[in-house]
Structure 1
Amino acid sequence: MTLAQSNYPFLDLIWTMLVFFGWVTWFWLLVVIFADVFRRADITGWAKAGWTVALLVLPFLGVLIYLIAEGKHMGERRRAEATAAQTQFNDYVRSVAHNGGGTGATSQIAEAKRLLDNGAISDQEFQDLKAKALAR
């Protein structure tokens, strides 16, 4: 059988791929919208239930209505969540890293290593100081 005699023409294949990716995109939008609805603190439980029913009963229309009504706010909420997560991460990193004050675990271990290299403390004392610094 040659390519020209195929029972499934090339344009049908392209159409099938477009439909498949359209469904994948729609399901992705549905998941994103459900996540946005249930993360929102500015609406009541009844409003969340209403959006859930709308998205389940009229799936395509419900998605379109939600995107039109809340699309801009969805982006703002996601941006605020990302900013909060980045701020929290930065604060955590600053709290565990050496920040010039000489009180972090890194500076304590470095000082203990310096004392070990100078012969002021034994290897066991170094291990004890290191364990205490890491336990904080």
Structure 2
Amino acid sequence: MSFFGEFFWFLLWSFYFIAYLYVVIVIITDLFRDHKLNGWLKALWIIALIFVPFLTALVYIIARGKGMAERATAARGPMISEADDYRPAASSSPADDIAQAKALLDAGTISQGEYEALKSKALGNQYFGA
């Protein structure tokens, strides 16, 4: 077998070994995350992972896969939408919004059309409770 063939097989087996180690680490992490499973069953799963590793990992993922996802989601905590971080601050009143828009118009920052749009938005917000 050539050098490149041996190198290819080495890379392939290295990938499989690292992937297997990742699966074992995920399974052990999930075992310790599960508070409903008692200590004896956790020890039994770990012993099985040591003596029959591939079959045990496969059975564990098939039998407890849904619970693994739920426990991982619970461990991450509640998700907050990114949009919540960028909400503009609520204005104090429509009159303040119109005054700010007028100041921008007078400074030449916005056009007359943009001023009218901001003004109508501020007045619309007053009536719709936004």
Which band: TM-score by shorter chain? Answer: 0.5 to 0.7
Which residue does the alignment assign to 1:33? 27
Which of 13, 18, 23 is the aligned partner of 2:17? 23
Give the CA deviation at 1:67.
Answer: 0.8
- The TM-score with structure 1 as length reference comes to 0.54
Q: 1:46 aligns with which of 35, 40, 44?
A: 40
Q: Which residue of 1 aligns with 2:77?
A: 83
* Structure whose CA Rg is larger: 2
- Structure 1: gaps (5+ residues): 1-6, 88-136
Q: Which residue does 1:110 correspond to in 2?
A: none
1:25 Cα deviation from its structure 2 partner: 0.7
Question: By how many angstroms is 1:13 displaced?
Answer: 1.6
In 2, Cα distance between equivalents of 1:83 and 1:39: 13
Q: Could you tell me which residue of structure 2 aligns to residue 105 of structure 1?
A: none
Tell whether 2:64 aligns with 1:70: yes
Larger RCO of the pair (alpha carbons < 8 Å, separation 6+): 2
Count of residues in correspondence between the two structures: 83
The sequence identity of aligned pairs, in percent, is 36
Matched-pair contact (CA < 8 Å) for 2:33–2:71: no
Equivalent position amino acid for 1:32 in 2:
V
CA distance in structure 2 between the aligned counterparts of 1:56 and 1:38, rounded to whole angstroms: 16
TM-score by length of 2: 0.56
Runs of 5+ unmatched residues, structure 2: 81-130
User: 2:29 and 2:45 mapped to 1: Cα distance?
Assistant: 12
